[in-house]
Copies of this chain bind each other. A is one copy, B any other.
Amino acid sequence: MFSPFTYLIRRKELASHLGKGLALLLGNELSSMNYAANYYPQFRQDSTFLYYFGLDVPGLAAIVDLESGESILFGQEPTLDSMVWTGPEAGLDELASKCGVEKTLPIETLGEFLSLTGDRTVHYLPSYRPEHTIKYSTWLKKNSKEVKEGVSEALIHTIIRQRSTKVHAEIEQLDNAANVTHALHMTAMKYAKAGMKESDVVAELYAIAMRETGYPSFPIICTVHGEILHNHHYHNNLKEGDLLLVDCGGESAMHYAGDMTRTFPVSASFTQKQKEVYQAVLDASDQVVINLRPGVSYKEMHLLAARVLTENLKAIGLMKGDVEEAVAHGAHALFFPHGLGHMLGLDVHDMENLGEDFVGYDSTTRRNPQFGLSALRLGKELQAGYAITVEPGCYFIPGLIDNWKASNKLEAFINYEALESYRDFGGIRIEDDYIITENGSRLLGTPVPRTIAEVEEVRGAAL
């Protein structure tokens, strides 16, 4: 945790921006698997709650008085029974003192407390777990439709403003998270061998994450079917000639996230075909990275990556026609159907629960509904202190190819015939984390091998 003062200041700033009413901020609960007491091993606290209170234990909620700036922490005191089953725990006052809160109350009284505040506005955030809806519903005496409609955009915007710009101590956490992520990728790159299952590699990654700080920041993607963007199955065998795509991240001790992707050959080296596509993706990433700086629109960066990729795919013979025009029509999205990247912070897609468009777009940059661009989570201008991912990719998705080909979609730009021999290619993504600085950007954490030569060196030594 940071010092109590840090959290106090953050809440004062929240209050001074909003100025009126109360903010109700929910901590998370443990999540049950197959019966109430059998929880998912990992407790994940709500990130906004972590940002303003830093308390990483389940069962809490807080109210910030936006006029006085004072907060009340709601929770339960430990019991003799809880001491026997889960060990000695901090009392509410001790928790409150860690984050500069002076008043605590039993959580059973939260509903009554709110009902006694009369007509003061209660600002609250969107639900992303069913438990949130039930709590809001109970405490605010609203049905679930009213809960959804009553969310406070003012609170959302204020929190996004505060959390978007990472201060020094947060950047340190992001570097730590990136370094855990570095350890994960070095392990994967050294460990994976033909004959293993994907799950063997994932098992090693889990072990590294648990030794370092705890759990991965999101479900690990580790697949020879990199063309399935969020593949969470690990049952395939690794074979010579395959590409293994590993997209994973660690967390820092304070739950800041890392998120990086590497794609490497299961054999000691890439094939010529793999090299060409890999270099296309790498070029796209490199071009973006040298252009990162405050004031640059991330949508423009996405389109830059798309153009570089398209140029390369033209050279390979998979695309054709005018590059600008191809990108304007979204032809590249057959190969690159996702966004270039997203904000990074206490969440791997930072603040996604507050609304992707509120986080990644603004009044000057709106989300484009074109296939591909529509999946871009971050489109607006970058600012110093933003932490972001840069993650171009190139995929050969048989189902999507068939779907487009059936209507000869954008055939002026796509060489469907040449594409046939790439149907079982899989997919390549390269992803790194950057912090936007006053004049440009800086890579977060220790660099993970990235060029063809660097990757082949590690693989060669490992095999």
Contact = CB atoms under 8 A, between A and B. Distances in A.
Interface in A168-197: 197
A94 to B, nearest CB: 16
A400 interface: yes
B206 A210 contact: yes
Contact of A36 (B84, B128, B208): B128
Given A80-B400, A349-B38, A399-B84, A130 B131 contact: yes
Interface string A19-48: 000000000100111111111111011110
Nearest to A351: B35
Contacts of A332: none
Interface string A55-88: 0000000000000000000000000100111111
A216 B33 CA distance: 12
Contacts of A211: 197, 199-200, 203
A462 interface: no
B84 A400 contact: yes
B128 A352 contact: no
Nearest to A395: B84
A330 interface: no
A interface bracket (residues with beta carbon within 8 Å of B): 35 or more
Contact of A352 (B38, B199, B203): B38
B86 A35 contact: no
A230 interface: yes
A31 B30 CA distance: 11
A228 interface: yes
A423 interface: no
Interface stretch (A8-16, A156-164, A217-225, A283-291): A217-225
A346 to B, nearest CB: 7
Nearest to A47: B34
A314 B219 CA distance: 51
A231 interface: yes
A366 interface: no
B218 A38 contact: yes
Contact of A347 (B35, B210, B230): B35
A86 B232 contact: yes
Contacts of A200: 211
Contacts of A31: 31, 40, 129
Interface of A: 28, 31-42, 44-47, 80, 83-88, 128-131, 133-134, 137, 144, 197, 199-200, 202-204, 206-211, 216, 218-220, 225, 228-234, 337, 346-349, 351-353, 397, 399-400, 403
State the 9 A-B residue pairs at the shortest beta-carbon distance, nearest first: A130-B130, A87-B228, A35-B353, A203-B210, A41-B219, A33-B44, A203-B207, A35-B352, A207-B207
10 contacts: A28-B34, A31-B40, A32-B128, A35-B347, A39-B219, A40-B44, A83-B397, A87-B231, A199-B211, A202-B210
